[in-house]
Each structure stands twice: as structure tokens, then as C-alpha cells.
Amino acid sequence: MRKRLARWYPVIIWILGILSFRSSLADQYVIPSGSMEPTIQVGDHVLVDKRAYDLRVPFTHVSLRRTGEPHRGEIIVFSDPRSPSINLIKRLVALPGDRVSLRDGVAWVNGHREGADHPLKRLPRHVAYRDRDFTVPPDSYFFLGDNRDNSADSREWGFAHRDALLGRARNVLYSISWEGHLPNLSLRRLGTAL
């Protein structure tokens, strides 16, 4: 019995190594909704650099040390503040201490309209958002989806804490959509930088 188990050790070690790599260094995130359209499409598989902000103990959210700080405009995967077992992907709009004014779904940060170096999607008849003014608390961040009229984001659930940040989205690895029961690989999305 022990000999039979011994021949599986290399396989078990390989599997644990892959899982550790995905848990602490890099992983992919599958886009489930259109909240980041047009930048990221439903079905995109996105490469996430999990070393961008923290080096973590594998299989945990325990940070061994900070490796970087997030910047406005980055697309980040983080734990949902309402349900930490769910991961979200949104664009970082405001940092700790920033003053944010929301006017008709548009964010003004420290008196300047949010940078428009990325495309945004607006619906012709968009949802009426409540105008608000606030300051981002310490160790917290304000996120918005690029699909501004169809995104559950900081306008709905508030701020995400620094400890919730899981990694920075870097590239679209590949994109799969479904036509009936058949998968359709979109080659034009391969490697798209985020």
C-alpha cells in the first residue's frame, strides 16, 4: 500500500505546486458579467498578477509583505465587500483620502473629471444615480465598472478595503463565448492588454 502511495507523491507535489502558484503569484479570472464592457467582455479569461500589491501565504489572504500600491485607473480583482467569498473586477477610480463627487454617474476626483484614457459604456436611457460627495477613508478604495450604467460597484456597496485587493488584471488570455451548446474562441481578444 505504501509503495502505491509513493508513486503518487510526484503528482501530488505537482498539483500542490500549481495550486500554490495560482493562489499567490498569478491566476486567471473569468468575466461573468458585462460590468466592465467595453474594456473587458463576458467570457474573457483575464490574467491576474497576484504579486502586484501583496505577497501572500498560499491558500490564504494573509499578507507576508506589501509589494506595491494600486494606482488610479488600474483594473483590479478584489473580494466583494458584501460577500468576501466572491471576487469582483472593477476599475480603481479613487484612492484613500481622495474627495469624490458623483454627478449623473460621472466621477470627479479631487475636482477633476475621472481620466478618460479608457473607453466607457453609457446607456441611452441610463439609470438615475443619486449625486453624492464623500472622502475615501484610509486603507480603502473606490471602484467603478466601465459599463457605467450597468455595474454594481462602489456607488452601490461603498468602499473596498486594502486587504481585499487580490491582484491587478494584466491581459486577456483568451475569450470564449457560447453559440448554443458550442464554444466560440475569439482570436481578436487574445493577449489584449488591460
The catalytically annotated residue of 24, 50, 79, 90 is 90
Catalytic residue from among 35, 151, 154, 175:
35
d(Cα 194, Cα 169) in Å, to the nearest integer? 7
Neighbours of 161 (CB within 10 A): 14
Q: Using alpha carbons only, what angle is made at residue 133 by residues 130 and 137, rounded to the nearest 5 degrees? A: 120
Q: Is 121 a catalytic residue?
A: no
Instruction: Give DSSP secondary structure letters for 126-183.
Output: PPPPPPEEEEPPTTEEEEE-SBTTS--SHHHH--EEGGGEEEEEEEEEEEEEEETTEE
Give catalytic status of residue 85 as yes or no.
no
| Cell numbers describing residue 133 | 460627495
Cβ atoms 136, 100 nearer than 8 A? yes
- Residues annotated as catalytic are 35, 90
